[in-house]
Structure 1
Amino acid sequence: MDTNEGKYDKKTDKGDTSHFQALATALSGTVGTGNIAGVALAVHLGGPAALFWMLMTAFLGMCTKFVEVTLSHKYRDFDEKGMVAGGPMYYMKKRLNINLKNGKQIKTGYWIGGFFAIATILSSFGTGSLPQINSISNAMFATFGIQHMVTGAVLSVLLGLIIIGGIKRIAQVTEKLVPFMAIIYFAGAIAVIFSNYQNIIPSFISIFSDIFSGTAAVGGFLGAGFAFAFNNGVNRGLFSNEAGQGSAPIAHAAAKAHEPVSEGMVAILEPFIDTIIICFLTGMVLLSSGVWNEKLSNQFQQTDIEILAGYYHEQNEENLAALKNHLNNKDKVSLFTGEIQIEEGKILDKISIIHARSLAENIEVRQGGDLFSGKIPVTNGKITDRSGNLTFTGQSLIHSAPLSTAAFSKSILGNSGQYIVAIALLLFAFSTAIAWSYYGDRSVTYLVGAKYIVVYRIIFVLGFFLASFTDTTIIWSLSLITIALMTVPNLIGLLILHKEVKSTIKDYWIDFKKEHPKN
């Protein structure tokens, strides 16, 4: 038996990758910016309780991932080049047709599979390519001062060289890249957690103490109710491990395995590694470091600014309750409309500014680098000045990748902790782009055949380069839509075929016991 094969594998098993390579490729697609920025956003919005609900999605995700991978491996095909062509679109094509009483069949499965394949191609850009390189280039510029276009050019060439070799070269890269990037991130996270050892137990308890009541106000965090913590934890968890979306089964379909159930079992490891290990580590880094509820100096994003009519103070219990309800979309407080007067960068009006869901302090307004004096128009709490020259700085909570960066700096690593986040973001996001290029080219194969894959790959790499130095806000919106368009038909298909999965598992164990009787 080959040394790369498992104990129960057979030399005659068909496929393009080993179990581990398929797992590594699928993990490279799921372990990405969501594990760094997504966890930080969930904790920022919902507090420690959101991390609990994120972890709960992983346990449900294990079951979902097992079922979708089992079905996709069972009904995979081989394209005209002899390469595996698999994924939810293939089980949809073969098993979601409508059989009529006269013996005829309506090919509904083919069209549902086509719909899923189109959504996957769009998502390969909206999820796996454009936002990823945009995040990488921003991180490289902020941390090392490398120009966005330079980062884009170098990584685009590297991406092209990898994906042109297809799944076999992709698997060869990911099986080395995934363990390497996981070790780097794990080591950095452990360094932060144990540098703040006195906060380990309190942080761990905080994850479970308020799961049904939400998180109370603490530090600069103004509090979050149960619904807010639950929704953000579940949303970020599903975004991270992609359970039910139908992307990972495309990678697992390529694995050499004679039993689909065995590959489904391998896939169970994905949500466990992605969410229960990596996301949990990120969460503990954020909580133990204390930065999640600490106001830090930063430049405000105008989209995160909300100007309130009147002065609020978080030490006032009535003010605090009103702000918590406002942020949790209950009773809204009055928003400011009019003009705010600024003199030498200081706000003269009796108003309050919320930035990143916290009351901002020590606010300074500049225009083109100089302290600003004048009036700024505001409508319903939002600044309507579109000149783009005004900048607001001050102290407030921060979120997403900057929050993770701040957390990694609160350890024996000091300011060098920011480099771990930047490098991890580079590796995580780049590996995601590699995996999604494969998901997209298998979808192209389903729709128009393998001969058009090269066209897709050229467009994929070109888009990857362009997104390194352009705004991808619209792409993120497209991503959320395409994820939903992939998930809905996949979950419907899994529900329809749940009895078949049950019988497939039963048959697997019967055959397994026959082939491997106990001694």
Structure 2
Amino acid sequence: MNLIDILNQANSFIWGPPLLALLVGTGILFSFKLGFLQITKLPLAAKLIFKSDNNCNGDISSFSALCTALAATVGTGNIVGVATAIKVGGPGALFWMWIAAFFGMATKYAEGVLAIKYRTKDENGQVSGGPMYYILNGLGKKYKPLAMFFAVSGILVALLGIGTFTQVNAITDSINGSFGIDPRLTGIALTLLVALVIFGGIKNISKVATTIVPFMSFTYISICLLILVSFADKIPATFLLIFSGAFNPTSAMGGFLGASVSMAIRNGIARGVFSNESGLGSAPIAAAAAKTNWPAQQGLVSMTGTFIDSLIICSLTGFSLILSGVWQGDTNGALMAQSAFASVLPVVGPLFLTLILSLFAFTTILGWSYYGERCFEFLFGTKGINGYRVVFVSMVLLGSFLKLEMIWIIADIVNALMAIPNLIALILLMPVVVSETNIYMDYLKSNKGSSVSKEVI
């Protein structure tokens, strides 16, 4: 038995029914407790994205915090992750990604609420927040081992999972496929760019994210819509394929080997979580830096991240892959997506995707460098942060030398380790989330949404 076989067994065990049930179940529980807030308050959440009060506590605007969180979530998971899910689980995997995303919006809301409620400041005066702080400050010191477990897992995800290897591999493979550039040369150039940005801290990272994320998202969405228009006659059949594949085995066709319902569920939910990170505990680390004194307000803004990431961008990726028929071929990952783009834009399509995928992955690396840094600061203080940054940059360079299959398995395993303590904390702190929600909604009713300065409790 080789290393990949061992990792595959470990991955299958960790991402078994218990964790999948915990992830989706937490979202279902919050959805009912909050009156399906992801539907009723989505218009309000959209309005709040661009609302910023510089008089409030925090380091960056709510919009910058959202862009930083989206920078970390909108990455290879939206392209390579969706392609992998559909390749292994069939079109039905996309349906289970939708389910995970819908209920994940409620989970992401709760994470945003608790991030503001229990945030603090480090020795340098920089805001620190996230699951490790709402576990420690919300549940008490007896839960410190759980907070430390989350922080260690967060560092592992940053260094070995979403933060480096998967993103670097996607960039180097895509650029090599489009331009024939040696992955090692791309890896060196990428490492230098990452180093230039992350040593400037959260404000530098948020500036880059706020500039790149809206541009790359708009460009990618536009091209995907062009594919949908080109294959408009196949859209009804595609929906049928997605829904039937979600509950019935998908038979083999072309280069596709067929998939069971359990494969569709597991890959859809696992890749959905990998993409939108709802329940993972990463987004609240960025949300904690937002300039707002209302926990529920930032919770609503955070919730839109999952909507944008999964219900819009991932859906468009999935439709593009299925409508163009490339999911049945022999390609996988970024190459599958390139084939879909080439179906409507034969020459420039793959080049556009290479650019977009590189930007997606680059901003994800930046976002996760910050997440890992805050986890490191929680465990060791601020003195070793530059040392952490050096290690992170080194892992970016290493990522260009690893194989795709092993990278995704490692990423899945460390993601699960990070999600478990966060989900436990969310469930235990549910009364706090509900209370803060009621306080904010009562305020909106009585003051008709006018701005107010509120001290953090």
Q: Is the structural similarity TM-score above 0.5?
A: yes
CA distance in 2, matches of 1:31, 1:10: 26
Residues 244-291 of structure 1: CA distance to partner in whole angstroms, max 9, x if unpaired?
000010000000001011000001111111111111101111111112
Equivalent position SS for 2:125: coil
Deviation at 1:425, TM superposition (A): 1.6
1:166-245 equivalence runs, <5 A: 166-245=201-280
Q: What amino acid does structure 2 have at the position aligned with 1:153?
A: I
**Per the alignment, do residues 221 and 466 of structure 1 end up closer, same or farther by CA in structure 2, a change over 3 Å counting?**
closer
Q: Is the 8 A contact 2:49 2:63 kept in 1?
A: no
Where relative contact order (Cα < 8 A, 6+ residues apart) is larger, the structure is: 2
- Say which of 132, 145, 148 aligns to 1:114: 148
The partner residue of 1:125 within 159, 171, 195 is: 159
Aligned residues: 403
Give per-residue Cα distances to partners, 1:165-192, cap 9 Å, x unaligned.
Answer: 1111111110111011112211221222
More divergent stretch after superposition (126-135 vs 508-517): 508-517
Match of 1:25 in 2: 68
Rounded Cα–Cα distance in structure 2 between residues aligned with 1:6 and 1:68:
16
Instruction: Select which of 335, 338, 354 maps to 1:402.
Output: 335
Match in the other structure for 1:59 = 102
Q: Match for 1:37: what amino acid? A: V
**Is the CA contact (8 Å cut-off) linking 1:137 and 1:469 kept in structure 2?**
no
Matches of 2:149 and 2:351, distance apart in 1: 41
Say whether 1:153 aligns with 2:188: yes
- Please tell me whether the aligned partners of residues 92 and 113 of structure 1 are also in contact (alpha carbons under 8 angstroms): yes
CA distance in 1, matches of 2:261, 2:405: 29
Alignment-derived partner of residue 390 in structure 2: 458
**Separation (CA, whole Å) in 2 of partners of 1:507 and 1:282:** 38
CA contact (8 A) 2:338 2:349 kept: yes
Q: Which moved more, 1:276-285 or 1:210-219?
A: 210-219
What amino acid is the match of 2:335?
P
Within 2, Cα distance between the matches of 1:53 and 1:473?
22
**CA deviation profile, 1:208-256 (whole Å, cap 9, x unmatched):** 2443223344444454332222222112111111110000100000000
Name whichever structure is richer in strand by fraction. 1
Q: List per-residue Cα deviations over 1:37-91 (Å, max 9, x = no partner).
A: 1111111122221111111111011011001121121100011111101111001
For the 8 Å contact 1:10–1:258, the answer to whether it is kept is no
Q: Does 1:78 align with 2:121?
A: yes
Q: Report whether the alignment pairs 1:37 with 2:80.
A: yes
Separation (CA, whole Å) in 1 of partners of 2:399 and 2:49: 41
Q: Give 1:196's aligned amino acid.
A: F
Q: Which moved more, 1:187-196 or 1:135-144?
A: 187-196
Distance 1:467 1:41, change over 3 A: closer
Secondary structure (helix, strand or coil) at the match of 1:214 reads coil
Aligned partner of residue 268 in structure 1, secondary structure:
helix
RMSD, aligned α-carbons: 2.1
1:235 alignment partner AA: A
For the Cα contact (< 8 Å) 2:278–2:306, is it kept in 1?
yes
Provide the TM-score with structure 2 as the length reference: 0.83
1:271 match: 306
Q: Which residue of 1 aligns with 2:296?
A: 261
- Indicate if the aligned counterparts of 2:443 and 2:449 stay in contact, CA closer than 8 A: no
Change (3 A) 1:73 1:473: same
- The equivalent of 2:380 in structure 1 is 448
Task: Verify: 1:15 aligned to 2:58, yes or no.
Answer: yes
Q: Which residue, 465, 473, 478 being the options, matches 2:410?
A: 478
In 2, Cα distance between equivalents of 1:417 and 1:12: 45
In 1, the alpha carbon distance for the partners of 2:403 and 2:83 equals: 22
Distance 1:122 1:231 in 2: 22
Which one has a larger percent helix, Structure 1 or Structure 2? 2
Distance 1:211 1:201 in 2: 16
Task: Give the Cα–Cα distance (whole angstroms) in 1 for the partners of residues 180 and 50 of structure 2.
Answer: 49
Select between 124-133 and 252-261 the one with higher mean Cα deviation.
Answer: 124-133
The gaps in structure 1 that reach 5 residues or longer are: 98-106, 295-396
Q: Please report how far the alpha carbon of residue 111 of structure 1 lies from its aligned counterpart in structure 2 after TM superposition.
A: 2.2
Quick one: distance in 2 between partners of 1:473 and 1:227?
20
Task: Please report how far the alpha carbon of residue 118 of structure 1 lies from its aligned counterpart in structure 2 after TM superposition.
Answer: 1.0
Which amino acid in the other structure matches residue 182 of structure 1? S
Q: Is the contact between residue 94 and residue 110 of structure 1 (CA under 8 Å) also seen in structure 2?
A: no
Distance 1:193 1:506 in 2: 41
| Offset of residue 96 of structure 1 | 2.2
Decide whether aligned partners of structure 1 residues 78 and 229 sit closer, same or farther in structure 2, where only a CA change above 3 A counts. Answer: same
How far, CA to CA, are the matches of 2:51 and 2:346 in structure 1?
A: 47
TM-score (norm 1): 0.74
- Percent of pairs identical after alignment? 44
Deviations 1:440-476 (A, max 9, x none): 1111111111121111111111221232234476554
Letter in 2 for 1:457: R
- Is this contact kept in 1: 2:174–2:335, CA < 8 A? no
The letter for the 1-side match of 2:131 is P
In 2 relative to 1, CA 197–246 (structure 1 residues): closer, same or farther, beyond 3 Å? same
User: What does residue range 324-335 of structure 1 map to in structure 2 within 5 Å?
Assistant: none
Larger mean Cα displacement after TM superposition, 134-143 or 171-180: 134-143
